[in-house]
Chain A
Amino acid sequence: MTFLIRQTLIYAVPLMLVALAGVFAERSGIINLALEGIMIFGAFMGVLFVNAVQEAGGFAGAKADGNWLALQGFALLAMLAAAAAGAAFSLLLSFASVNLRADQTIGGTALNLMAPALVLFLIRIIANQNVLNMAKGDAAPWFMLRKTYFGYGRTDSMGFWGETFVNQTYPATYVCILLFIVLSVILYKTRFGLRLRSCGENPQAADSLGINVYKMRYAGTTISGALAGMGGFVYALTTANCSANGDVAGFGFLALAVMIFGNWKPLNIAGAALLFGLFKCVAASYTSIDINGDGICMLEAIGVSAHVYRMMPYVITLVVLAFTSKKSRAPKAEGIPYDKGQR
């Protein structure tokens, strides 16, 4: 069970965060199809930050001393760098769709094309290959928690809770969960959140009450970009050994599916992300690993292909779309450029 929960969380948490990124943009009235692109860009900038700091000799002392708290600070800084990069990249989308009233779908597609191209172009020049790795060491010894940090011996057990949620986990995962909760509260329980959401439902009414729709849409998309950028880096850190290769394996689109399946509501999104994360985890590991008798090999014995689990999230989302299209909670004004003069 330990392995399954740990792995599912690793896949589910970036999904959750990026789906919330989609919610922030859509609630403010902007369709953010560029989640995938922003994730790719954020992942690249985060890895580049780690790489550059390591090259400059930063945190080498902390690593040598085994000062894991300092190393976690390093990871947090990299997450912030990725978030800043994602926010900056998303400005391209907000500028086109708010100021120029461009087609948001095409704008998002442009960003999705731009990110891998730009990132691969730069990676090839920086690293002379198609992947940018950490300058020193691997992700696990630098950023993963070990039971030895807490005074346990290598062979000691931390018990079920400790083994599952502390040993061999990335604290970045928990930072993301915390962020998810805080931002969900902000979106639904604060004045700012209410104003932001009103711009996605009826911007004309919001404007008549003195809310600056343009500013709100910029805010929504920028928060969205920051979250997606951070999610991209966390994905690269936890599943790709902190490396960037201009690809997040369609996670941005999967996050879009999570958002739709979660009906644009945070709690449902968390549930949807866990479900889809479980599918990902099962698909990724069921042929090769049977750790702690998690029963994943049993799934293989049933004879269902791993491809089915990979396909499932998209099929489920399509079915959900088909059945809930009438009572969807999608923001009413999403995708429509705001025009002050329109009635």
Chain B
Amino acid sequence: MTATNQALTVEDVQAILAEKHSTSHLINRKRHVTLPQWATAWIVLIPALIFLVLFMFYPILNTFFMAFIQDFRWVSGAGSFAFGNFIQGCFNWKGKFENNLIPSFGFENFVIVLKNEVFLNSILNTALLVVIEVPLTIIVALLIATFLNSIKALKGLYQTIFFLPYVTNTIALGLVFQMLFASNTGGLMNILLKNLFGIDPINWLSSAEVRIGSTALPPATKFHQGVVIVIYALWNGLAFKILVFMSGLATIDKQYSDAAKVDGSSSFTIWRRITLPLLSPQILYITITSFIGAFKMYTGVMSVYSAAGKGAYYFGGERGEDWITVVGWIYKQLDLSQDKPGIAAAGSLVLLSIILVITAVQFAVSKRRVHY
């Protein structure tokens, strides 16, 4: 017995080594916890799915549903979960929908919304802002990005400066813009206009008369308020667009423009014939996102009126509706007439269809224009 202990055979040594280095004990330990992939997948998806279903899928369904229910009141108790209650009601008509609560479907909400002067006005305002602001911002951003791309000194500094508005709070800077456009002689913009062009003070934002000494400035016109809103939107919107254009420009191969230079093309021709077409995917992306973003404009408009002290749903003018936007209108409905979310829902569906149409048109146009 002892003899075998002292003299280890080669096989013995190999066995010992194999035991020491094998991972089999690992596999044996783990094997019983290893689930099939599909089971793991659903388990890790559970947290996201709970939130998605509760706060995304269900709301979309419910809002659609609510928009088509006539005279739906939810604060009054029953029917708060419009869609949920409907499903319940389908199986048990004697339950929740008794006492006139059986919903009747129709387009009444849409009729109310589309006949509402303020809502139509809000669509007009938003469209106007979109049509002016989006092209303006894209063109300026494109110019700045091209210029930035062609310089070397201070490039990083300028890039950081142009990005700064992105990391600001819209409400906070909205106030600063109000101060810059203060209605009296001390507003920075008025000082600038006075000294550069000799223009008398302008009442930019105030819905009341502004007294300066013996003269009185009339209430701000819609045009002047619009100027402030567009300038603020431009200031706010440049950062993201410049960043995207810059990253697009960085991927363009220098040899195209070098070849064109050798052929004697001017810088403008190179920009027009080479840079722009090669940048078209980024331009398309920016155009679509800015159109959608601008159509959902709300904080940017509201925040230039915040110092008026009239709350989150004031958009200038005597009645607070001068520059009301679609989203602003929707939130106003939600906040003021909480028993009528059907109206807000119908309004949001109108917004959705506008956005879908714009996106579809842009994709159709891009098929011919964008070079990938």
| Pairing of A with B | no
Chain A contact residues, CB within 8 Å of chain B: none
Chain B contact residues, CB within 8 Å of chain A: none
